[in-house]
A and B are shown apart, each in its own frame.
Chain A
Amino acid sequence: DTAVSQTPKYLVTQMGNDKSIKCEQNLGHDTMYWYKQDSKKFLKIMFSYNNKELIINETVPNRFSPKSPDKAHLNLHINSLELGDSAVYFCASSQGGAGGPRTQYFGPGTRLTVL
């Protein structure tokens, strides 16, 4: 059973196109995240949703728009793709009580290549 899944695994597209990456978690978690890992291997958080509500929105171009139809899904739509958007995008989820530990579980990643 895959806990956090992402589709597609690889995405190759031309500059200027619009694309979406989907994420689903079957862990029953209340919070989901999108991370970007660039060529230098830094992992940076982009967005986080808690029960379908946006709670973290880092300095990300507004070409990136997350959408959470329900708490098990968090999709990432990217408009007008640019060369610099090439990276690996990871989805994650977590669950935890107030003040308690909140372990994040990650998907396998989507490698986006913009040509």
Chain B
Amino acid sequence: DAKTTQPTSMDCAEGRAANLPCNHSTISGNEYVYWYRQIHSQGPQYIIHGLKNNETNEMASLIITEDRKSSTLILPHATLRDTAVYYCIVLSGNNRKLIWGLGTSLAVNP
């Protein structure tokens, strides 16, 4: 499965949009882009996933570039409760083995 590269940490002001980038330049055509987050001491939480098209749900939006080599997770109005480590993972549908990196530690500041 393709590897991903994310910044180690980011800051965001409360109420502003948080844009978290992820590079996955070796992604294959059948691999999905998943985003999870882990709030301190809790279990990882699924946020969103996509294949080719941009996706939006009640938590976030996922923007995937046309060449699929990178994506951006957007939290439209970040709150203090969004402070967490965000993980970008690419995985084919038949593969159940999520490979976790260190993710991006997002700090939302008041």
Contacts and interface: CB of A to CB of B under 8 A. Distances in A.
A101 B30 contact: no
A107 B42 CA distance: 8
Given A56-B96, A96-B93, A109 B43 contact: yes
A90 B98 CA distance: 13
B102 A108 contact: no
Contacts of B102: 41-42
Interface residues of B, number: 22
Interface in A85-115: 90, 92, 94, 96-109
Interface in B63-100: 85, 91-94, 96-98, 100
Contact of A100 (B34, B38, B41, B93): B93
Nearest to A31: B96
B100 A106 contact: no
Interface in A37-59: 41-45, 48, 50, 55-56
A103 to B, nearest CB: 5
